[in-house]
Amino acid sequence: MAHKFPSAEWVAAFKDAVNGNPAYKASGREWTHGVITLVVSANPGLGLAEDTCMWLDLHQGVCREAKIVGRTEADKGSAFIIVGDYARWKQVIRKELEPIKGLMQGKLKLAKGQLPVIVRFVQAARDLVESATMVPTTFLGD
């Protein structure tokens, strides 16, 4: 069954996909740097009245928890926050845009966190994207 992006169901399926991806288990093995939150910017035209914050508690190659949280909780509890508009995240999930390349092009923004740490885990970022592509997804507006 396809899950609407973004939604609690999609995030739960993403967690399963991450934990079922042996490549991420290897590339993220040394990740001990805390929660990463991916923020889809508000887009009233698509029915997203507020920012949607997808909280990913990643630790040593495992996604321990994944959930939708409010912006305040995300700002307070995340070590890293990456922000992009809906179209950009859609490109990421479709493997049309690599996250690090998106940061270079200014299509995604690192709103919180140490960039050198993110760059060091570039392969883990790619494997997270690979996991996202395994989630059957329906996009708003399609």
Q: Pick the piece of the chain touching another protein (CB under 8 A) from 19-27, 60-68, 85-93, 118-126.
A: 118-126
Chain residues 36-75 in contact with another protein, contact rule CB under 8 A: none
What DSSP state is assigned to residue 79? S
Residue with tokens 């910017």: 41
Nearer to another protein, 61 or 68 (CB): 61
Nearer to another protein (CB atom), residue 2 or residue 117: 117
**From 22, 50, 104, 133, residue interacting with another protein (rule: CB under 8 A):** 104
Inter-CA distances, 117 with 34, 60, 139, Å: 11, 14, 30
- In order of 27, 83, 99, 110, 123, the CA distances from 39 in angstroms are 23, 5, 13, 10, 21
- Of 33 and 67, nearer to another protein (C-beta) is 33
Give me the least distance between CB of 115 and another protein, in Å please: 4
Q: Does 100 bind another protein (CB under 8 A)?
A: yes
- Please identify which residue in 4, 64, 95, 120 interacts with another protein, judged by CB under 8 A: 120
Q: Does 26 bind another protein (CB under 8 A)?
A: no
Q: Spell out where the chain has E strands.
A: 3-5, 36-40, 52-59, 62-69, 80-84, 108-112, 137-139
- Measured from the CB atom, the residue of 25 and 109 that comes closer to another protein is 109
First to last CA, the chain: 16
Residue 124 near residue 27, CB atoms below 8 Å: yes
Rule CB under 8 A: which residues touch another protein? 100-110, 114-117, 119-120, 122
